[in-house]
A and B are shown apart, each in its own frame.
Chain A
Amino acid sequence: MEQPERSTSLAHVRVEDLTVAYEKPKQAGTFTAISRMNLDVARGTFVTIVGPSGCGKSSLLMAVAGLVKPAGGRVLVNGQPVTGPGRERAMVFQDFALMPWRTVLDNVRFGLELQRWTGEDLTARARRYVDLVGLTGFEHYHPHQLSGGMKQRVGIARALAVDPEILLLDEPFGALDAQTRDQMGTELLAIWERSRKTALFVTHGIDEAILLGDRVVVMASKPGRIVETMQVELPRPRTLEMMDSDRYVAYRRRIRACLAGEQREERATIPRY
């Protein structure tokens, strides 16, 4: 478990010996979502985290976001321990989490209002980010009038508008259909290429993980932990055509082997009655 000494200045986000546990509802005891995890994320990299459901990948993101308190260890951002949400991090949620009574524009404004942005017209700034995600003309729609893909564009615009250093994306395309997901992934990359913000992207899709990430972190469950991290040496900008390359196929095989290996082990540990 001992980590070799590394310079903290390199890691934009550092996860140190992190344990996340939840109280089990209506019974005594706790459920360990993540156990003693270590991870370094360098500034400006796009890291994807892939794993089966229940492996604690969302919990990892929540801990980095400062939305759950670690039961052990800590998360450092710019060398400072995380004690709660902060301006340098912004999150995109799987269920969009848009305020249903606010219009598209006002939803994008939401984060700016909460962070007390001044010195600039908030509506004008929000409008720029609505443009950025391609929702011009829909400013005054309410979320229930939008498709899932459009809702998540609002979610992404809301996160980008507060100009965070680190983007946290919790299965942002998980609720979308396959075609929309591909398209949204491509567009997210295009936006990201321009700003090169540090990004932590949680997904259960292997293809999404390879295609988006500079680095893929593979997680396994019970308890949640990292089983493999892998550099993705595909050139940027990435395209869907790269999925046919030998290198891509090799990455894919390796990740699947990691996940399958874990599953075999898990099956073997199930007691027989």
Chain B
Amino acid sequence: MTGFASWKSSPIVLGVVFFAALLLLWESAVRFGWVNPFFVSRPSLIAASLSREVQSGELQRNLAVSLGEFAIAYGASVMIGILTGLLAGRFCTLEYILDPFLWFLYSAPLIAFYPIFVIWFGLGAPTVIAVSFLLSVTQITASTLSGIQNVDPGLVRAARSFGASERDLLWKVILPASVPMVIAGLRLAIGRVLMGVVVAELFGATAGLGFSIAYYGGLLQTTNMLASLVVVVVLGVLCTQALSALEAHFSYWRTDLRI
């Protein structure tokens, strides 16, 4: 592998160049008539569609709706998930009570519960928020709980040997030690919230990015549909990158960190 040593310094350049090449291939494949543009559109058309949507304000409107639902669901699940995880980590009886439900919710395809939420909350934002919240809160609770349970017992013992009270243990050992796991949970959850918002909007909404994808899909307008999909992809990448950066910031001291 030493022959590739010169590539090692530039994985980003390599990735970006390859990505650009893919776009170019896509564009030219359609232009030269190798593939039917009805099915795949092409990057320049998608870009044009995006700029039109920006000018008409359509993109901003959809983005605002989706981001609003996203913020409420994520914000609520962060607060409730961390709190529940902490309490369950401290009081084992609560953990045992929650355990079967957490397991069930964690392994069940939660979006399948969508119709029942529609029955409860009707079509629209409340249902979108409820589904996304449920997806996210499960992840955050589970990660927080496991973060607390996996605190190195050697550290707890050392703190005890210096006379730490239960309160000290919580604030000076258990909480700081579980921060990386909590943030890893936040990172996984942000993907689930985005999934919840977009998919719930696919099924039943009157605005939002998912709605836009489904709407143009129904009209068979591939270009517009792909334009909205691009926005979702960019949003997903941005969210994940932001949380990964946050995770790196708070986990600098963890040498055993694995993705």
Contact = CB atoms under 8 A, between A and B. Distances in A.
Chain A–chain B contact at Cβ < 8 A: yes
Interface of A: 65-67, 85-87, 89-91, 93, 95, 97, 99-101, 110-111, 113-115, 142-144, 158, 162
A93 B162 CA distance: 12
Given A85-B162, A113-B172, A114-B168, 15 more contacts: A67-B160, A85-B160, A86-B163, A97-B152, A97-B155, A97-B158, A99-B155, A99-B173, A110-B172, A114-B162, A115-B162, A115-B163, A143-B253, A144-B254, A144-B255
Given A86-B163, A101-B177, A91 B253 contact: no
B176 to A, nearest CB: 5
Interface string B153-171: 0110111111110001000
B172 A97 contact: no
Contacts of A101: 176-177, 179, 253
Contacts of A143: 253
Contacts of B34: none
Contacts of A142: 252-253
Given A67-B157, A97-B155, A99-B176, A110 B162 contact: yes
A100 B172 contact: no
B250 to A, nearest CB: 9
Nearest to B252: A142
18 contacts: A67-B160, A67-B161, A87-B163, A89-B161, A97-B154, A99-B172, A99-B173, A100-B254, A101-B177, A101-B179, A101-B253, A110-B172, A113-B172, A114-B163, A142-B252, A142-B253, A144-B254, A144-B255
Nearest to A65: B161
Given A99-B176, A113-B172, A114-B168, A144 B253 contact: yes
B157 A97 contact: yes
Contacts of A66: 161
Contacts of B173: 99
Interface residues on B, range: 20 to 34
Nearest to A164: B162
Contacts of B179: 101
Contacts of B253: 100-101, 142-144
Contacts of B159: 110, 114
Contact of B172 (A87, A90, A114): A114
Given A99-B155, A100-B254, A91 B172 contact: no
Contact of A93 (B158, B168, B252): B158
Interface in B116-165: 152, 154-155, 157-164
The 8 residue pairs across chains A and B that have the minimum distance between CB atoms? A97-B158, A111-B162, A100-B253, A91-B161, A114-B162, A144-B255, A97-B154, A114-B164
Given A99-B155, A114-B172, A85 B161 contact: yes
Nearest to A161: B162
A85 B157 CA distance: 10
Nearest to B164: A114
Contacts of B164: 114
Nearest to B180: A101
Interface in B83-118: none
A171 to B, nearest CB: 13
A85 B168 CA distance: 14
A92 to B, nearest CB: 9
A222 B256 CA distance: 36
Nearest to A115: B163
Contacts of A86: 163
B251 to A, nearest CB: 9
B65 to A, nearest CB: 40
Contacts of A111: 162
Contacts of A110: 159, 162, 172
B154 A93 contact: yes
Interface string B241-259: 0000000000011110000
Name the residue among A91, A95, A114, A142 with the largest chain B CB count within 10 angstroms: A114
Interface string B196-219: 000000000000000000000000
B154 A95 contact: yes
A98 to B, nearest CB: 8
A204 B255 CA distance: 29
Contacts of A91: 158, 161
Q: Which of B152, B158, B160 has the most CB of A within 10 A?
A: B158
